Structure 1
Amino acid sequence: MRINKTIDAPREFIFEKILDSCLFDIEKNTGKRPKVRSLKGFEYTKDFGKNQRGTVKIDELTEPNIYAFTTKTNRNTFSTRWELHKIDDRSTDVIIEESQTSNGFIQMVNDKAVGFFLGRLKKRQMIAILDNMDRAYNGSNR
């Protein structure tokens, strides 16, 4: 999945929102709130519900440009990368890329079938997150 969207908000604002979400997730799952400078390489266990757990590892953190992480479960590995490109002082081009690797042939077939239907929903959810960041910066009158 790849999403490319321009947001009317500075890159630093968007990156701060991404970091806030990351730190909230870490604190929710570990009870700890690490310093931003120690996030690269940070790894923690996360519950996804329905008896599903996984490990999240922050692979890259370059302020205010890149946030990348990998989520591994017993079924799949997801790699997610956010890139923020400054257009001007008020606009940012956001690129989100996510790839999925399935553990095993049967899981891969299942993921392809389910992904066909749920892929569009996930993409819509990600665009809604970006739209919310835009509204958070510009007010809800947009």
Structure 2
Amino acid sequence: MKSMLASAPILAAALLLGTSAHAQDVSAGERSFNKCRACHQLGETAKTTIGPVLNGLFGRSSGSVEGYSYSPANKAAGLTWDDAVFADYIKDPKAKMPGTKMIFVGIKNEQEIKDLTAYLKQFDKDGKKL
């Protein structure tokens, strides 16, 4: 019994460390966003370029950024961007949305997707960090 009690703090610490390894890492997400930066912008000075701005992405409907010329597939997709939809999309955009004009090989790593999601979620619709 004493050995079980003595090992309880070690077990608790191991559980805490194990879960923190899977937490979202905003800094890693910012590095991951470098893959997106060629086409997308974020922040208060963001502008639509090759792709639409990604400010306020989560909760937004697909194909809805004013001033961006979306593909018919994107306009008709009827998606609302949330964690699950974004994760599915960013793995393989052309598979999730056949006919999209987004040319991107995708991000397959689940942790990288979570980190990127955490980074994107920092920006409200006006590009201000929350």
Band of TM-score, shorter chain: under 0.3
- Name which one, 1 or 2, has greater alpha-carbon Rg: 2
Q: TM-score, normalised by structure 2?
A: 0.26
More strand by share: 1
